[in-house]
Amino acid sequence: MNIFVGSLPFSLKESELKEYFEEYGEVASVKIISDKFSGRSKGFGFIEMPDEEKAKKAIEELNGAEIDGRAIVVNKAEERKEGERRGGFSGGNRGGGGYNKGGGSGGYNRGGGNDRKSGGGNSDYKSSY
């Protein structure tokens, strides 16, 4: 079973996290997620335990447990569905924005388009680049 662990202290090492879960059974892998630029922990990670019953017991007993003054969150990790995106700037229905050639009005749900009827506020903008 793959287990999500959140609200981790930023100084916690994977080996230390593994020790908490090994009290409940075999731990196949431990991964604390870190920022790809700074290398600093993002405060969450994943534990893989091959025995589902022992993993459920670990989730039940460690969820809300305190590590270095922080109450951690522990639950079963849900698999991402095909094409699912999380976090970041996925765009969504927010209109254009920035330096668009030919239009786009930016902001939230303001439309955006290349003709004046659809609210393309920047359609006459000419870049000096």
Q: How far apart are CA 108 and CA 59, in angstroms?
A: 39
Q: Percent of the chain, pLDDT > 70? A: 64
For residue 96, the one-letter residue type is G
Q: How far apart are CA 8 and CA 21, in angstroms?
A: 14
The structure tokens listed for 45 are 């990670």
Q: How far apart are CA 58 and CA 54, in angstroms?
A: 6
The pLDDT-based confidence of 112 (bands split at 50, 70, 90) is: low
Arithmetic mean of pLDDT, 86-114: 53
Residue 57: DSSP 8-state: H
Q: Which of 40-44, 73-77, 100-104 is predicted with the least confidence, judged by mean pLDDT?
A: 100-104
Q: Quick check: helix, strand or coil at residue 46?
A: strand
Maximum distance among all alpha carbons in the chain?
Answer: 66
Q: Calculate the average pLDDT of the chain.
A: 80
Residue 83 pLDDT exceeds 90:
no
Residues 2-20 pLDDT 10s? 999 999 999 999 999 999 9
